[in-house]
Structure 1
Amino acid sequence: MAITSANQLELLQTAEAVAREKMIDPGLVVEAMEESLARAAKSRYGAEMDIRVSIDRKTGVATFTRVRTVVEDEELENYQAELTVAQAKEYLEDPKVGDEIVDEVPPVELGRIAAQSAKQVILQKVREAERERQYEEFKDRAGTIINGIVRREEYGNIIVDIGRGEAVLRRNEKIGRESYRPNDRIRVFIKDVRREVRGPQIFLSRTAPEFMAELFKMEVPEIYDGIIEIKAVARDPGSRAKIAVISYDSSIDPVGACVGMRGSRVQAVVNELQGEKIDIIPWNEDQPTFLVNALQPAEVSKVVLDDDAERIEVVVPDEQLSLAIGRRGQNVRLASQLTGLNIDIMTESQESERRQAEFAERTQLFMDALDLDEFFAQLLVSEGFTSLEEVAYVEVDELLVIDGVDEDTAGELQARARDHIDALNRAALEKAQELGVEQSLFDFDGLTPQMIVALAEDGVKTLEDFATCADWELAGGWTTVGGQRVKDNGVLEPFDVSLEEAQNLVMTARVQLGWVDPEELVQDGADTEETADASEDEAEA
């Protein structure tokens, strides 16, 4: 097949036909043709030659040219595609390195093998262009809902035709035991779009919490308009879900708007989700209040929030325990996902037993340490004293409010408490010395003798050892493993050392050892404050 006037226009017609069929730019098809013809020409004239082909976009005329580049004498390697400055003077008056000499060469006659090779190049280029077009089209649609048609099932995964391509609904992204047949219509959420070697991969979902949020946005105009916002969604796909909403218009009830007249709006979402029961909950800035709402329909007696551990303790009436937990723990699990907190639920009787146990433990502590009778020890606990340190170093006036306590009695109580603390400290120091603790750790401010013993038992016996500790190793923390939050116990956690206090202690030790420059710490702190101030200014703007 020769590239002659007989088939010049046919090139452009073919390019336009392929572009229309694949919905890509005709120019990309023409470029693919140019590259395929250039490869065929190289097989005819020589692989080392730089042969280029240009197809006129109006007439379809293909021009074959040989290009040679001017290089330095010592860089000359390919004699077919390069030449020196001296050699280039035959073609140019004042040649410079980098100049190109272009000569037109006769069109090639494409044999059967060359034509097949050219066809493969064109198909490959078209396929790449089609994949790129598909990726560009869907990459910005991630996070939206799309309607598709089921094409087939592969190993439990559903292949869905979404118009200009196919997407995958994995088996774990289907609701319950959903089953589909070819040509069924399906509504899905575009969870992710990835560019991979084999082309763009579009992953769908019907179990994602965002799918439910998008469905409500479609059914509730107030959400679409931004008057109502969905703050959080938690789902047990196909069974039950909780959704937290807030209204920015005081005249609009967010829960009522999402439910709709006679439940029409929420029912439309329920039907799409295979009968999934949905609890619509008013969102609240106050976490305990929000949690009380999230645990509906169970009633809550008391909530205790632990900000550091991101845990929350909920007390419910004895008869409400099973309702608060839900079948197989479903209710409390969804409430935990909705609030982002770990929830411990106990009954009123369990909490009462715990309080009584703590009361008895503290009473016994004061009886043993301060040589008090049970009644007087109970008075101290009832007034809120929980430790010997509180008794020893509190203002005397706080002891005088206890019935039967005068200044002499208060002074005696504090003296006994201090004597007992001193005895405990002496015993702790002796034990620390027996464990081999070096003097550098004793001299470090901020650590009590009991803390030093705890560190020594954990293998920290020098200031250098202490300086290498991480803050969470000292104060404790939480780690997420397999989707579950796991407690990391800290060496100094029994002494109520917070994460921030642990950070300060470790950095102070590093400064004393000369590992860290104090001026750098000051500069880092200033930079952090400036960043925080800038963020606040942007938020206000």
Structure 2
Amino acid sequence: MAITSANQLELLQIADAVAREKMIDPGLVIEAMEESLARAAKSRYGSEMDIRVSIDRKTGQATFTRQRTVTDEDAIENEKAQIPGDAATQAVTQAKPDIFVTRRKVTLFDEEGEKTGEREVRAFNLRKPTEVDRMKTEGVDQDTPPQEGDILVDVVPPVDMGRIAAQSAKQVILQKVREAERDRQFEEFKDRAGQIINGLVKREEYGNIIVDIGAGEAVLRRNDKIGRESYRPGDRIRVYIKDVRREPRGPQIFLSRTAPEFMEELFKMEVPEIYDGVIEIKACARDPGSRAKIAVISYDSSIDPVGACVGMRGSRVQAVVNELQGEKIDIIPWTDDAATFLVNALQPAEVTKVVIDEDAERIEVVVPEEQLSLAIGRRGQNVRLASQLTGLDIDILTEEEESKRRQAEFEERTKLFMDTLDLDEFFAQLLVSEGFTNLEEVAYVELDELLVIDGVDEDTANELQARARDYLEAQNAKALAVARENGLQDDLANFEGLTPQMLEALSKDGVTSLEEFARCADWELAGGWTVVGGERQKDDGLLEPFDVSLEEAQDMIMTARVMLGWVTPEEVVGTSEEDEQAAPEEAGA
């Protein structure tokens, strides 16, 4: 089937119809047609030839051309697509090629004659005199012989496509149109992640819901559905665009109805103050389909954030509840004070006392006995949501449990001071009552802090510190002796940051030299978690009893490797910067 004048305009009509149907640029369809025709021509003239096809956007006329690049004679690899310089000059002189295209770098100068740079220009030398002037490019000598990199273009006769070639051309066009459609869909939705859209349920596949979103399909996965929801084809559904990814099979749009952000966007739609930024949702935690907690703050003192979110007679929050299939929502005022915020987050339970350990990111909450079940909630729901809202691990104790634990700690510390400092029970209890928890605090605290204790004068305080230091030095010497017996070497013994007790623990596990220490992994020192068979298992670290964090373990190991010359300080700095850049990306994931 040759392309005749009768069906030239038909090409443009087909391209326009396909473009309208698929909502893509007609130029992309024409480019696909050009590529398909070029492939068909290669099957006729040979795959080694560089055949190009150009379809006129106005007339639909298809022009078939062969391109040959001027190449050094010794560097020619494909004689069908490359031509030596001498042969190219002769071809141009004899006017064999229809078009002689040059690509040259032109030096640019300013008005004062100073060089300002270079740019690449193209010029055409057609053997049709009437078109030479139209195709000339300023700055290029049209009569210059062909040089390496120039292109000779010959017009070749159109091909008469057979059935196989026509089928191949059809497949190329369909593939290109499909790729263009996918690109358009990705470009349309890539910036819409984080928005709520409406769609129609098309079908269910293995528990996942396929949703028609107008310009394509999206997936509501099983774990992103609210538990008790069920859908039938044709049902309207409101969903949150969770992620948009470009994948080999096409753009994948993942939806969610369980994401906390879905609830935040719903409130933004129902509460104008949130949309305008007067009220901000600072945190949100959900048990999808059952219960949720959101923390809000108002930047206008005249507006109550909780009241604005609830609305007149609960109209605003009720609209969100209805969309989420009756999910109960607790709206909590947000505050910078962590303890006050936690007390609000644990509502409706009443809290007696809050103790925060910021270093461990843990918090202890004491509640009356009758409030314990309310604070924990059904299956731990209330405390779990409060923990997600505050970002802290929460331990809930009754007043009786807290009292027993404090008494046990008091007795344990009292016995420690009695045994190590040779004190009577009353004096040891005085130290514990003043907040001393270990021997290091007694040994190295400022003397004035001991003098505030009733009955302690300067001589007594000095004696207490001397006893504490003597005991600690004896313990250090004993630990170091054990480590030496286990083979501890001087290079590790002199390593800064390791106490005698740490050296003893390392030597018991066979780490006795700086080289062996440098070979350790950070989790081997600080501890960590390993997933085995889908379950997390605790890995005990050699220095974990001494509260060595993962970051501290990394620093010590890298310092040891620098001392041994395994890495340079610059490499260590570079690795640290990469880790800092990767940390927010992983947190985001």
TM over 0.5: yes
Q: Is the 8 A contact 1:220 1:265 kept in 2?
A: yes
Alignment partner, residue 5 of structure 1: 5
Shift of 1:242: 1.1
Shift of 1:96: 1.6
Alignment partner, residue 131 of structure 2: none
1:380 aligns with 2:425: no
Aligned counterpart for 1:357 among listed residues 401, 404, 408: 408
Greater displacement, 367-376 / 272-281: 367-376
Q: Which runs of 5+ in 2 are unaligned?
A: 94-144, 582-589
Q: What TM-score does the superposition give when structure 1 sets the normalisation length?
A: 0.88
Shift of 1:307: 2.4
Shift of 1:361: 0.9
Alignment partner, residue 61 of structure 1: 61
Aligned counterpart for 1:196 among listed residues 247, 266, 275: 247
Shift of 1:86: 2.1
Alignment partner, residue 381 of structure 2: 330
In structure 1, how many angstroms separate the alpha carbons of the residues matched to 2:325 and 2:426?
A: 63
1:42 aligns with 2:42: yes
1:164 aligns with 2:179: no
Shift of 1:217: 0.9
Alignment partner, residue 268 of structure 1: 319
Q: Is the 8 A contact 1:55 1:61 kept in 2?
A: yes
Alignment partner, residue 274 of structure 2: 223
In structure 1, how many angstroms separate the alpha carbons of the residues matched to 2:265 and 2:373?
A: 32
CA spacing shift, 1:433–1:325, aligned 2, 3 Å: same
Aligned to 2:363, what secondary structure does the other structure show?
strand
In structure 1, how many angstroms separate the alpha carbons of the residues matched to 2:300 and 2:167?
A: 67
Aligned to 2:442, what secondary structure does the other structure show?
helix
Alignment partner, residue 99 of structure 1: 150
1:234 aligns with 2:285: yes
Q: Which amino acid aligns with 2:339?
A: P
Q: Which runs of 5+ in 1 are unaligned?
A: 533-541
Greater displacement, 70-79 / 202-211: 70-79
Tell me how large the CA RMSD over aligned residues is: 3.1
Alignment of structure 1 residues 249-328 onto 2, 5 Å: 249-328=300-379
Give CA deviations for 1:160-181 in whole Å, capped at 9, x if unaligned.
1111111111122111121111
Give CA deviations for 1:104-151 in whole Å, capped at 9, x if unaligned.
222222333332222222222111111111111111111111101111
CA spacing shift, 1:113–1:379, aligned 2, 3 Å: closer
Shift of 1:212: 0.8
In structure 2, how many angstroms separate the alpha carbons of the residues matched to 1:480 and 1:316?
A: 35
Shift of 1:270: 0.5
Greater displacement, 99-108 / 261-270: 99-108
CA spacing shift, 1:336–1:126, aligned 2, 3 Å: same
In structure 2, how many angstroms separate the alpha carbons of the residues matched to 1:491 and 1:341?
A: 26
Alignment partner, residue 16 of structure 2: 16
Q: Which amino acid aligns with 1:9?
A: L
Aligned to 1:338, what secondary structure does the other structure show?
helix
In structure 1, how many angstroms separate the alpha carbons of the residues matched to 2:3 and 2:491?
A: 89
Q: Which amino acid aligns with 2:70?
A: V
Shift of 1:392: 3.6
Q: Is the 8 A contact 1:429 1:449 kept in 2?
A: yes
Shift of 1:396: 4.3
Percent of aligned pairs sharing the same letter: 80
1:247 aligns with 2:298: yes
Q: Is the 8 A contact 1:312 1:344 kept in 2?
A: yes
Shift of 1:57: 0.9
1:339 aligns with 2:390: yes
In structure 2, how many angstroms separate the alpha carbons of the residues matched to 1:178 and 1:127?
A: 34
Q: Is the 8 A contact 1:258 1:265 kept in 2?
A: yes
1:83 aligns with 2:78: no
Q: Is the 8 A contact 1:309 1:477 kept in 2?
A: no
Give CA deviations for 1:193-223 in whole Å, capped at 9, x if unaligned.
1112221111111111111111111111111
Alignment partner, residue 148 of structure 1: 199
Q: Which amino acid aligns with 2:485?
A: E
Q: Which amino acid aligns with 1:346?
A: L
Aligned to 1:304, what secondary structure does the other structure show?
strand
Aligned to 1:335, what secondary structure does the other structure show?
helix
CA spacing shift, 1:264–1:371, aligned 2, 3 Å: same
Aligned length: 527
Aligned counterpart for 1:184 among listed residues 232, 235, 253: 235
Q: Is the 8 A contact 1:219 1:268 kept in 2?
A: yes
CA spacing shift, 1:283–1:488, aligned 2, 3 Å: farther
Greater displacement, 103-112 / 172-181: 103-112
1:431 aligns with 2:491: no
CA spacing shift, 1:411–1:179, aligned 2, 3 Å: closer
Shift of 1:373: 2.5
Aligned to 2:91, what secondary structure does the other structure show?
coil
Alignment partner, residue 535 of structure 1: none
